[in-house]
Amino acid sequence: RVLSLELNKDRDVERIHGSGINTLDIEPVEGRYMLSGGCDGVIVLYDLENLSRKPSYTCKALCSVGRSHPDVHKFSVETVQWYPHDTGMFTSSSFDKTLKIWDTNTLQLADVFHFEGTVYSHHMSPVATKHCLIAVGTKSPKVQLCDLKSGSCSHILQGHRQEVLAVSWSPRHEYVLATASADSRVKLWDVRRASGCLCTLDQHNGEKSKAPSEAVNTAHNGRVNGLCYTSDGLHLLTIGTDDRMRLWNSSTGENTLVNYGKVCNESRKGVKFTVSCGCNPEFAFVPYDSTIAVYTVFTGELITMLRGHYSTVDCCVYQPNFQELYSGSKDCNILAWIPALREPLPDDISEKSLPQQHLNPAYEDAWSSSDDEG
């Protein structure tokens, strides 16, 4: 289904934003409600369900925090995220140096955290049961951890040298956090440890550098502005302004050396990319100029480019229940990418007798029977 994703002519997302869309999130409880955040500070909440039951429909905006709302963000909203455990609450962070906690039903502020610099990224753990920490990446090299329970910034992770452009909790270990910075580094932390930092990812896998004093591990040769764990948490994808994407073993920190080719990335801020969930193979969906590039995660193959936006794509989000993708762009549009329906085969034709060249290479059977191996 993912291999047949196409721009769906029958599904529109109501156009509310008057400026570019930076961030999207679909709540994990039902997979039905989506948030979007725009360059003008506006946040919109959509219902993705087809309530009309007609084949052609528009996903309606249920409500929005518009420019006239007393608590609207003053500047660009960079990240929106649903509270992972229910839809009664969501979070947003902005270039206006705040992280806001919202009551979904009233669209009123439940809490607000203030920072000294621009906020590029924040994330709540999808799996945490023992903590309510929101990791926040800002213009400061210090990673802030805000505690929802106490309403205070509980502690700080120190180690980066420049601004922190992306943060992501592991979907496997509730205390493990990955952070990416303009200092070319990606760090993994265990937030329970006093020192915090577990490791700094090294693109050269610990090759001894010529001058030991210069042995500084870098993940990219540029700013690292995107992070995404695979759905099982065993691997971590990173992207940088060196036009590279890298896949790391998240437990050993090893660079797996998968080659994705040139992954064009000129963004001055965080890039919101995503991965599939429950597919075999797994796919990465990466904003690439005005398209979305679809890669197989473990072989690095570029499967397709999804074309439909008129301007730079800034974010995409995957809906696992139906294997759908939604993308947001500077063109103010949110597009829905839906698997194309395959025409059913007449009963008298078997799949085997069809010409094989239509098979996408990612589908091909890579198994060999044990007889061949002697």
What pLDDT band is residue 222 in, cutting at 50, 70 and 90?
A: very high
What is the DSSP secondary structure assignment for residue 80, as one 8-state letter? Answer: E
Q: Is the dihedral of CA 302, 81, 310, 97 positive or negative?
A: negative
Dist. CA 200–CA 184, nearest whole Å: 10
Q: Which residues, 6+ apart, have CB-to-CB distance to 245 below 8 Å?
A: 237, 238, 239, 260, 263, 284, 286, 295
Residue 266 pLDDT? 79
Mean per-residue pLDDT, 316-339: 95
Give the other-Cβ count within 10 Å of 70's Cβ: 7
Task: Give the angle subtended at the CA of 13 by the CAs of 8 and 17, to the nearest 5°.
Answer: 135
Q: How long a stretch of residues is the chain?
A: 374
Whole-prediction pTM: 0.89
- What is the rounded average pLDDT for all residues in the chain? 90
Whether the predicted pLDDT of 307 surpasses 90: yes
3-class DSSP state for residue 142?
Answer: coil
Percent of the chain scored above 90 by pLDDT?
Answer: 78
Mean per-residue pLDDT, 324-348: 84
Fold for domain 11-276?
A: Methylamine Dehydrogenase; Chain H (2.130.10)
79 burial type by CB count under 10 A (0-12 exposed, 13-18 middle, 19+ buried): buried
Bridge partners for 200 per DSSP: 187
Whether the predicted pLDDT of 342 surpasses 60: yes
Residue 287 pLDDT? 96
User: pLDDT tens digit string along 99-142?
Assistant: 999 999 999 999 999 999 999 999 999 999 999 999 999 999 99
Give the DSSP H or E segment for 98.
strand 98-103
Whether the predicted pLDDT of 210 surpasses 60: no
Cis peptide before 84 (omega within 30 of 0): no
Residue 53 pLDDT? 85
Whether the predicted pLDDT of 340 surpasses 50: yes
Whether the predicted pLDDT of 365 surpasses 60: no
User: pLDDT tens digit string along 227-273?
Assistant: 999 999 999 999 999 999 999 999 999 999 999 999 988 788 889 99
What pLDDT band is residue 155 in, cutting at 50, 70 and 90?
A: confident
What is the DSSP secondary structure assignment for residue 345, as one 8-state letter? Answer: P
Percent of the chain scored above 70 by pLDDT?
Answer: 89
Mean per-residue pLDDT, 189-193: 93
List of E strands, 115-182 = 119-124, 133-138, 143-147, 152-157, 164-169, 176-181
What pLDDT band is residue 38 in, cutting at 50, 70 and 90?
A: very high
Distant-in-sequence contacts of 280-287, Cβ < 8 A, 24+ apart: 281/362, 282/230, 282/231, 283/2, 284/228, 284/237, 284/245, 285/316, 285/318, 285/325, 285/327, 286/226, 286/239, 286/245, 286/316, 287/312, 287/313, 287/314, 287/315, 287/316, 287/327
Residue 213 pLDDT? 44
Q: Which residues, 6+ apart, have CB-to-CB distance to 261 below 8 Å?
A: 300, 302
Q: What are the CA-CA distances from residue 369 to residues 170, 299, 340, 372, 374 (Å)?
A: 37, 22, 32, 6, 10
Whether the predicted pLDDT of 183 surpasses 50: yes
Say if CB 346 and CB 44 are below 8 A apart.
Answer: no
Whether the predicted pLDDT of 168 surpasses 80: yes
**Would you state the structure tokens that stand for residue 146, as one six-digit string?**
């805000």
Residue 341 pLDDT? 74
Residue 83 pLDDT? 96
How many Cα neighbours within 13 Å face the side chain of 167? 32
Whether the predicted pLDDT of 364 surpasses 60: no
Mean per-residue pLDDT, 51-79: 94
